[in-house]
Copies of this chain bind each other. A is one copy, B any other.
Amino acid sequence: MKAGRRALVMDDIGRRITSRALVAGDKVPSIRSCAARLGISPSTVVEAYDLLVADGVIEARRGAGFFVADKPQPFAVAETGPQLEREVDPLWVARQSIDTGEEKQKPGCGWLPADWMPVSSLRKAMRSMSSARIDLLTNYGSAKGETGLRRFLSRRLHDQGLAADPDQVLLTGSGSQALDLVCRMLLKPGDTVLVDDPCYFNFQALLRAHQVAIKSVPYTALGPDLAKFEAALTEHRPRLYLTNSALHNPTGATMSAPTAHRLLTLAEIHDLVIVEDDIFSDFEPDVSPRLASLDGLERVLRVGSFSKTLSASFRCGYITARPDWIEALTDLQVATNFSGPSPMVASLLYSVLTDGGYRKHLDALKTRLVACRGDAIKRLGELGFSPWIEPRGGFLLWCELPGQHDATELARAALQQGLVLAPGNVFSVTQNMGSFMRFNVSQMRDPGCYETLDRLLTGTLNT
């Protein structure tokens, strides 16, 4: 049995290395924390770590703990073991959110309920697509993606003050994939990337996959803390800054115009490239200052998708950038995906976006969200949660927990009760957000979720 528990530890570390949650030189969880997490004795962890050292997977540094060896050999430890409870890391929320069935409530997830989407419009578009041109249904798309959708996006960006030709729009398989392509073009292992603290949890997972160093700057209600931003540029010389300037994830804050202007000046001085992930822009009540527009796409790339307002099932995102970068990104997409999103899907989205109902759909979403947000703020307030700010739009609400509660522990306990939450530290590189929680106000319509939260806060956690 002891061998089985040792294998648990070895398998756990091996998986983290294989998935690049841990890379060469990273500190391995301490013996104490590993033992506590897996519910086994520290001496068993010591034995397992010794075996990993013998296998050359990790190495001990006197007085400093254990570290992933420079040339990790995960295959030696990748025995198939029982499915472990995952550490509550940035991938935890993602996997819980997308892998948990409809039977669980998900105030921690990052999307609207399915029945808020323009379903009849999607169904109609699918029916009409079933008699579409044969090549749309069977062929690879062009390297940059369907022209109609790129033209539409170009027009919309112009309307929002961003002059980008259709040739400066590259369609991708998703917003996440767009970010991934940008990282591939601009980064090499060992580079440093700046993110916000807190920031969208998957930024961390993505950047880990690119084997870059991640540094963060505290996020304020007006954007990143500028003094600390400047200090970070000087100290860390990052290649890239990855952010949401409008309706920031997880805080819901929006960057102010002076902050945006100052940020671009600093970027120019320090030769920093900025990626503006604009995935929530369609939820804004009015267009806020945007880095890509102010900068004229000189050193800012803008990324978007249709997953939040139309369908996350259709898998289509886009990048707007300088023509030479778009050309390089197109080559990279061909090299790694052969072509971009499904031409059938791109045509479908194009027809839904232009059938006249999209604007109305957005208006209805916004109205609905105002009501949901008010309700969530009131009910969460009754439980002692305090919103960090009241966002201008969107569905995210970043709240401080009442009392001394720890968000990660609350999320673990909530999962046992059928509630998927998004604890603050999964959004935080510094791990300073343990007293915060990100709520999705559209996913809290069932009063049962507040009752569960109440029970967890008042009772279960004290056992």
Interface residue ranges, A against B (CB under 8 Å): 11, 14-15, 18-21, 75, 78-80, 91, 94-95, 97-99, 102, 111, 114-115, 117, 119, 122-124, 126-127, 129-131, 134-143, 173-177, 180, 184-185, 188-189, 202, 205-206, 208-209, 211, 271, 307, 311-315, 322-325, 327-328, 330-332, 334-339, 341-345
Question: Which B residues touch A173, using CB under 8 A?
Answer: 173, 177, 315, 337
Query: Complex: how many Å from CA A58 to CA B314?
Result: 43
Q: CB-CB < 8 A to A98: which residues of B?
A: 140-143, 334, 338-339
17 contacts between A and B (CB under 8 A): A15-B324, A19-B185, A78-B325, A79-B324, A95-B330, A98-B143, A98-B339, A99-B143, A111-B140, A114-B138, A123-B131, A126-B129, A126-B130, A126-B137, A127-B127, A135-B313, A315-B341
Report chain B residues within 8 Å CB of A102.
Answer: 135
With A102-B135, A138-B311 already in contact, 17 other A-B pairs whose C-beta atoms are closer than 8 Å:
A19-B327, A20-B185, A78-B322, A98-B140, A99-B143, A115-B134, A117-B134, A117-B137, A138-B312, A140-B307, A141-B313, A173-B173, A173-B177, A175-B338, A177-B337, A188-B211, A209-B335
Contact of A135 among B114, B332, B338, B342 (CB under 8 A): B114
| A330 to chain B: closest residue by CB | B95
Contacts of A307 in B (CB 8 A): 140
A331 and B140 contacting across the interface, CB-CB below 8 Å: no
CA of A123 to CA of B136, assembled, Å: 11
Asked if A15 and B327 make an inter-chain contact with CB atoms under 8 angstroms apart, the answer reads yes
A56 to chain B, nearest CB (A): 13
Specify the chain B residue showing the minimal Cβ separation from A208. Answer: B335
The complex places the Cα of A296 from the Cα of B143 at a distance, in Å, of 37
Known: A91-B334, A114-B139, A137-B123. A185 touches B342 (CB 8 A): no
The answer to whether A331 touches B19, judged by C-beta atoms less than 8 angstroms apart, is: yes
